């Protein structure tokens, strides 16, 4: 009879994986239970597979070679922040020694950066909208919104359902494709004091074209109710003063916080991890009295951010105010010159060809903003193309390389790869089996044209 190895012996053989001992013991026990009768070699193989799967399931750095700048599954904006151990004056005034509040640092700087009187930071944009509706409207009152803007975005998030969760009654006006100022006027007149605010929502990840008419923020000003504009993506200023070359052409038409407030919106809500380029957060900015009302609501405490997020947002806001776009990874990636991407692709292709690794061909390609931002917009880019679907092998690399597949080819877009990560991409390419020869890319399908 074959006796399985001891759990302790199997666990000791897994130390190179880098997991804590209790997790290695768990893997060893599971392997012994599953294949113990098959002998020691089978147990060790199975335990290693279980432990490796456990390690790969952990949160870890990855290389984003998908060309999606704001990739939701990869955490959207790649904002770095080193949080040194120790305490911070999150709610302490250093001048008086008394209690402060969480809007005295990051939120006040963000307000300054977008031309708002005040701002409040919560844990994401959905929370910002939920808190705003609850505090300014809530049970017994209503918000007016266009039928053409009752959107659903990723993860099943639907604006009408958020309004329902806040207790706010939704008054739909207009039609899917056409809504006019007169529709809002009628709703306010008929609803009277029950109407608490007017809500403007961006189309986010879709476009309606053809026979259309939309009611913009200036059209809603003067109707006697606060105008709340959820601009979603978090562009601070359409002029992009933090970029030496000004706003890139692909940003045209994207709503921005500064301009939306200047048009007469009383409040704007937006994400911290989209075009703002920071950590996950939701920002509410605008009139000081409305922000103060929202901040006093009990729900604000449940939705607030911790010191680590606030510290990251503070540094991000300082970079914006210093007009230092180079300090913000999203904007560095979004605006890097095409010639530099092409040179990196050529260098990586040449270096990988010098080994026995896979054949990688430099190619022009299109990146996208992502994150439900600027639907249909593409950004000229450059990268590498491999024959076949090599995504699983690339994900198994350390660090994992995340690519995309089109037309049975694997595309690695360098616009979303930091230059410091090129060495990891090259190492991954060299580790792949050749699997194809240059003849796999025939004249009819050569991606370089």
Percent of the chain at pLDDT > 70 equals 91
List, for residues 77-122, the tens digit of each pLDDT value: 999 877 777 899 999 999 999 999 888 899 999 999 999 999 999 9
The C-alpha angle with vertex 339 and arms to 335 and 343, in degrees rounded to 5, equals 120
Q: How far is CA 65 from the centre of its chain?
A: 15
CATH architecture of 103-324: 3-Layer(aba) Sandwich (3.40)
Cβ density class 157-189: b for 16+ within 10 Å, e for less: bebeebbeebebbbbbbbeeebbbbebbbebbe
Angstrom distances, CA of residue 25 to CA of 17, 21, 22, 416: 12, 6, 5, 38
Query: Average pLDDT of 366-384?
Result: 91
Beta bridge partners of 368: 68
Rounded CA gap, 128 and 110, in Å? 15
Q: Any long-range contacts for 204-209 (C-beta under 8 Å, 24+ apart)? A: 204/151, 204/153, 204/232, 204/372, 204/373, 204/375, 205/151, 205/153, 205/154, 205/372, 205/373, 205/375, 206/151, 206/375, 207/375, 207/376, 208/148, 208/176, 208/177
Rounded CA gap, 67 and 78, in Å? 13
Angstrom distances, CA of residue 320 to CA of 235, 236, 331, 410: 11, 9, 11, 36
pLDDT of residue 81: 77
Confidence of residue 449 (pLDDT cuts 50, 70, 90): very low
3-state secondary structure the chain: CCCCCCHHHHHHCCHHHCCCHHHHHHHHHHHHHHHHHHCHHHHHHHHHHHHHHHHHCCCCCCEECCCEEECHHHCCCCCCCCCCCCCCCCCECCCCCCECCCHHHHHHHHHHHHCCCEEEEECCHHHHHHHHHHHHCCCCCEEEEEHHHCCECHHHCEHHHHHHHCCCEEEEECCCCECCHHHHHHHHHHHHHHEEEEEECCCCCCCCCCCCECCCHHHHCCCCCCEEEEEECCCCCCCCCCCCCCCCHHHCCCCCHHHHHHCCCCEEEEECCCCCCCCCCEEEEECHHHHHHHHHCCHHHHHECCHHHHHHHHHHHHHHHCCCHHHCHHHHHHHCCHHHHHHHHHHHHHHHHCCCCCCCEEEEEEEEEECCECCCCCEEEEEEEEECCCHHHHHCCCCCEECEEECCEEEEEHHHCCHHHHHHHHHHHHHCCCCCCHHHCCCCCCCCC
Determine which of 240-249, 255-264, 276-285, 431-440 has the lowest per-residue pLDDT on average: 431-440
Q: Is the pTM of this model over 0.85?
A: yes
**For residue 17, what are the contacts with CB-CB under 8 A and spacing of at least 6?**
24, 48, 51, 52, 55
Confidence of residue 10 (pLDDT cuts 50, 70, 90): very high
pLDDT of residue 445: 39
The C-alpha angle with vertex 189 and arms to 183 and 191, in degrees rounded to 5, equals 95
Rounded CA gap, 337 and 381, in Å? 9
Rounded CA gap, 145 and 128, in Å? 17
Rounded CA gap, 403 and 405, in Å? 7
Query: Average pLDDT of 371-383?
Result: 89
The C-alpha torsion from 424 through 429 and 432 to 437, rounded to 10°, is 180
Whether 7 has a pLDDT exceeding 60, the answer reads: yes
Rounded CA gap, 28 and 44, in Å? 8
Whether 263 has a pLDDT exceeding 90, the answer reads: yes
List, for residues 415-427, the tens digit of each pLDDT value: 999 999 999 999 9
Rounded CA gap, 260 and 117, in Å? 14
| Contact between 190 and 173 (Cβ < 8 Å) | no
Cis amide linkage into residue 399, ω under 30° from 0: yes
Q: How far is CA 442 from the centre of its chain?
A: 37
Mean pLDDT, rounded, of the chain = 90
Rg (C-alpha) for the chain, rounded Å, is 26
pLDDT of residue 332: 96
Rounded CA gap, 314 and 445, in Å? 48
CATH architecture of 63-76+332-440: Alpha-Beta Complex (3.90)
List, for residues 183-221, the tens digit of each pLDDT value: 989 999 999 999 999 999 876 555 666 566 778 899 999
pLDDT of residue 71: 95
């Amino acid at each position: 009879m074959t006796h399985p190895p001891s759990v302790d012996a199997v666990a000791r053989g897994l130390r190179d994986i880098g997991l804590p001992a209790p997790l290695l013991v768990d893997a060893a026990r599971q392997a012994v239970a599953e294949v113990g009768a098959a002998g020691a070699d089978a147990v060790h193989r199975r335990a290693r597979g279980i432990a490796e799967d456990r390690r790969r399931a952990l949160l870890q750095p990855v290389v984003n070679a998908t060309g999606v700048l704001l990739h939701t599954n990869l955490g959207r904006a790649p904002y770095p922040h080193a949080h040194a151990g120790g305490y911070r004056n999150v709610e302490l005034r250093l001048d008086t020694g008394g209690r402060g509040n969480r809007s005295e640092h990051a939120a006040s700087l963000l307000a300054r950066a977008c031309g708002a009187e005040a701002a409040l930071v919560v844990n994401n944009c959905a929370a910002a909208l939920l808190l705003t509706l609850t505090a300014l409207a809530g049970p017994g009152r209503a918000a007016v919104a266009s039928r053409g803007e009752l959107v659903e975005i990723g993860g099943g998030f639907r604006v009408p359902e958020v309004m329902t969760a806040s207790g706010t009654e939704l008054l739909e006006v207009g039609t899917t494709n056409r809504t006019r100022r007169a529709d809002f006027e009628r709703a306010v007149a008929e609803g009277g004091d029950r109407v608490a605010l007017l809500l403007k929502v961006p189309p986010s990840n879709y476009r309606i074209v053809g026979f259309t008419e939309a009611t913009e923020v200036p059209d809603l000003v003067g109707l006697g109710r606060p105008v709340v504009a959820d601009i979603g993506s978090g562009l601070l200023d359409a002029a992009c003063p933090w970029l030496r070359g000004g706003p890139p052409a692909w940003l045209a038409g994207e709503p921005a916080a500064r301009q939306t407030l200047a048009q007469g919106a009383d409040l704007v809500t937006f994400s911290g991890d989209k075009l703002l380029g920071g950590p996950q957060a939701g920002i509410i900015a605008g009139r000081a009295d409305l922000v103060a009302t929202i901040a006093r609501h009990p729900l604000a405490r449940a939705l607030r951010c911790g010191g680590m997020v606030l510290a990251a947002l503070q540094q991000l806001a300082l970079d914006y105010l210093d007009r230092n776009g180079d300090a913000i990874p999203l904007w560095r990636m979004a605006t890097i010159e095409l010639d530099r991407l092409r040179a990196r692709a050529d260098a990586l292709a040449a270096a990988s060809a010098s080994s026995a690794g896979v054949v990688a061909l430099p190619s022009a390609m299109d990146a996208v903003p992502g994150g439900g931002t600027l639907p249909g917009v593409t950004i000229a880019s450059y990268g590498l193309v491999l024959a076949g679907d090599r995504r699983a092998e690339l994900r198994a690399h350390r660090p994992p390389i995340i690519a995309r597949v089109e037309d049975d080819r694997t595309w690695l877009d360098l616009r979303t790869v930091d230059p410091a990560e090129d060495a990891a991409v090259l190492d991954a390419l060299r580790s792949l089996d050749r699997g194809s020869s240059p003849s796999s890319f025939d004249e009819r399908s050569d991606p370089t044209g």
